[in-house]
């Protein structure tokens, strides 16, 4: 009897040891592959939010100083546009504050080495098309969200965001069909995203950031002939996307109203 108890005790210890080793191995795997796991999740969320392929070369996470380095971000163009990319980013440095399953708090996000590829067509621009994709994603049916069996997505707070020295490559396909001179965008600074709400969904944070980027890009390129050749309806649609109201009315004079509305937004 005593011998049998010893065998059971020995077996229990072996099982416990194996369980500990499995847990340690799983923890080590997760720790060693955090960047890869984060990369997969970030690409998925970004692609679903913007409605185009978002790819990242690598993500390096340093838990000791709560820092993240995202390298080689690229955002594909919507299918109706010619160029392969709408935006490419060399690096994004992130300083974390705190993180949990429910809430991610970022102290600083600094974006460097950015290139924006603006395309203008009779139907609009690629940057505003991406903004529309974001807005459409916000309007998913309530039933679809309620029926989802997935755990709720974590919310984010972004205290400070900076996009510095971004290069804009505007393309004019309406008149000359050739690319225009590059423009350096003024720094884009945002603060307090999700602070008052104690966190917003990543889709909402991306929407606020993209709205600021697209407005800055359109403003910077307006002096290079952005409005030339666009239809009245397209200008109205662009104005609406940019947040300029009261551009409706009779079809006569719509083009001039739309132009005036956008120019007033750009301070011209």
Confidence of residue 181 (pLDDT cuts 50, 70, 90): confident
For residues 45-61, give the mean pLDDT. Answer: 91
Residue of higher predicted confidence among 157 and 140: 157
| Nearest CA-CA partner of 208 in 197, 200, 218, 196 | 200
DSSP-assigned states of every residue in 67-83: EEEEEEEEEEPPTTSSS
Question: Distance between CA atoms of 98 and 78, rounded to whole angstroms?
Answer: 35
Give, as one character, the DSSP assignment of residue 16.
H
Confidence of residue 26 (pLDDT cuts 50, 70, 90): very low
Contacts of 190 (CB under 8 A, 6+ apart): 158, 160, 161, 208, 209, 212
pLDDT of 192: 95
Q: Is 259 exposed, middle or buried (0-12, 13-18, 19+ CB in 10 A)?
A: middle
156 touches 200 (CB < 8 A): yes
For residues 177-191, give the mean pLDDT. Answer: 82
End-to-end CA distance of the chain: 95
Which pair of tokens denotes residue 97? 């504050």
pLDDT of 1: 56
Q: What angle do CA 37, 39, 42 make, to 5 degrees?
A: 110
pTM for the model stands at 0.74
For residues 123-131, give the mean pLDDT. Answer: 83
Mean pLDDT of the chain: 74
Which of 25-34, 139-148, 171-180, 245-254 is predicted most confidently? 171-180
43 touches 70 (CB < 8 A): no
How many distinct helices (H) and strands (E) make up the chain? 7, 10
Question: Distance between CA atoms of 118 and 134, rounded to whole angstroms?
Answer: 17
Residue of higher predicted confidence among 222 and 224: 222
Domain ranges of the chain: 33-138+152-219, 231-268
Q: What is the pLDDT of residues 63-92, one digit of tens each?
A: 888 898 999 999 999 998 888 999 999 999
For residues 26-51, give the mean pLDDT. Answer: 73
Q: With pLDDT > 70 as the criterion, what percentage of the chain qualifies?
A: 61
Dihedral (CA of 31, 35, 37, 38) sign = positive
pLDDT of 121: 76
């Amino acid at each position: 009897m005593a011998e049998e108890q010893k065998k059971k005790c020995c077996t229990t210890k072996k099982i416990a040891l194996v369980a500990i080793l499995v847990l340690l191995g799983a923890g080590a795997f997760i720790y060693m592959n955090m960047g890869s796991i984060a990369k997969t999740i970030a690409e998925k969320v970004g692609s679903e939010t913007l409605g185009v392929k978002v790819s990242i070369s690598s993500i390096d996470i340093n838990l000791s100083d709560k820092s993240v380095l995202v390298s080689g971000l690229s955002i594909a163009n919507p299918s109706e546009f010619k160029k392969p990319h709408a935006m490419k980013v060399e690096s994004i440095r992130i300083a974390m504050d705190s993180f949990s399953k429910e809430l991610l708090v970022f102290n600083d996000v600094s974006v460097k080495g950015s290139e924006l590829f603006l395309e203008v067509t009779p139907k609009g621009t690629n940057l505003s098309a991406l903004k529309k994709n974001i807005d459409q994603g916000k309007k998913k049916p309530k039933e679809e969200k309620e029926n989802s069996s997935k755990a709720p997505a974590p919310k984010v707070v972004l205290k400070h965001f900076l996009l510095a020295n971004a290069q804009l490559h505007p393309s004019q396909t309406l008149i000359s069909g050739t690319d225009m001179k590059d423009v350096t965008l003024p720094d884009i600074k945002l603060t307090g995203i999700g602070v008052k709400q104690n966190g917003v969904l990543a889709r909402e944070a991306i929407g606020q950031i993209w709205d600021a980027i697209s407005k800055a890009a359109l403003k910077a390129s307006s002096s290079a002939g952005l409005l030339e050749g666009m239809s009245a309806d397209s200008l109205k649609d662009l104005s609406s996307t940019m947040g300029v109201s009261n551009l409706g009315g009779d079809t006569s004079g719509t083009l001039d109203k739309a132009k005036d509305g956008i120019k007033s937004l750009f301070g011209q």
